[in-house]
Amino acid sequence: MGRLTDTRDQIMDKAAELLMQRGFNGFSYRDISTHLGVKNAAIHYHFPSKTDLAMALINEYQQTLRNQTSAFMAYGGKATPQMEGLFMFTESQFCMGRCICPFGALSVDYDDLPPEVRGATERFMSDSVKWLTRVLEVGRDQKEFNFQGNPSEQAVMILATLQGARQMARIHGKETLDQVFHQIRTQLGMRTH
């Protein structure tokens, strides 16, 4: 037998990929089980219901976000690498299987999502907005950015833009993503080299 969490991790990896590629209603336990070469019930062993799977995925995203941003949130630092990191992350996710934002995918099915999943989604979004707001505030204070309006509104807008852009890029290709990055940089007064 493999280590404690080997299969479980593989399930989550594949589920994350499928969520981003086909949406929450667009994949089934069978898609995962056939890919891993196990039976359907093996998935149910690790994640009794699809809700449990969704919760595990969202919690993992939340953890990743915290790990990636905690240093900046605690001690501050240069804002530009934070922003460029977001662009790079977005781009790499898209290039790896034309993946859209998992929360974009979840928002489509939002109305028939169980309440706990909605709550977790809401919390993730709040954290994202808080982080980006801070990045924008710090960046403006340090003269790295130069934009008009409220940092928190600007943060909401940028996150919405990236979520939409990843979806549009599926239809119109990666250029869409590059155009949007370029335009955000322009609007923030970042060097576009």
Partner DNA sequence: TTCCTTACTTACCTACTAGTAAGTATAACG
Partner DNA sequence: CGTTATACTTACTAGTAGGTAAGTAAGGAA
Write out the residues near DNA by the rule CB under 7 A: 1-2, 4-8, 27-31, 38-42, 44-46, 48-51
Which residue, 55 or 157, has its beta carbon nearer to its own copies?
Answer: 157
Q: Which does 99 bind (CB under 5 to 8 A by kind): DNA, its own copies, none?
A: none
Taking the complex as a whole, how short is the minimal distance between the CB of residue 17 and DNA, in angstroms?
A: 15
The Cβ of residue 113 has, within 10 Å, a number of other Cβ atoms equal to 19
Rounded Cα gap, residues 33 and 114, in angstroms: 23
Taking the complex as a whole, how short is the minimal distance between the CB of residue 114 and its own copies, in angstroms?
A: 14
Taking the complex as a whole, how short is the minimal distance between the CB of residue 108 and DNA, in angstroms?
A: 15
CA 159 to chain centre: 10
Contacts of 59 (CB under 8 A, 6+ apart): 120
- Retrieve residue 169's tokens: 């890029």
The Cβ of residue 41 has, within 10 Å, a number of other Cβ atoms equal to 9
Are 190 and 83 within 8 A, CB to CB?
A: yes
Q: Which positions lie near its own copies, rule CB under 8 A? A: 21-23, 25-26, 98, 100, 103-105, 107-112, 118, 121-122, 125-126, 147-150, 152-154, 156-157, 159-165, 167-168, 170-172, 176, 179-180, 182-184, 186-187
Which residue, 46 or 98, has its beta carbon nearer to DNA?
Answer: 46
The Cβ of residue 68 has, within 10 Å, a number of other Cβ atoms equal to 14
- Retrieve residue 21's tokens: 């590629």
Q: Which does 38 bind (CB under 5 to 8 A by kind): its own copies, DNA, none?
A: DNA
Taking the complex as a whole, how short is the minimal distance between the CB of residue 49 and its own copies, in angstroms?
A: 18
Taking the complex as a whole, how short is the minimal distance between the CB of residue 109 and DNA, in angstroms?
A: 11
Which residue, 81 or 119, has its beta carbon nearer to its own copies?
Answer: 119
Which residue, 118 or 130, has its beta carbon nearer to DNA?
Answer: 118
Angle at CA 64, nearest 5°, toward 143 and 80? Answer: 15
Residue type, 22: R
Residue type, 186: T
Q: Which does 70 bind (CB under 5 to 8 A by kind): DNA, its own copies, none?
A: none
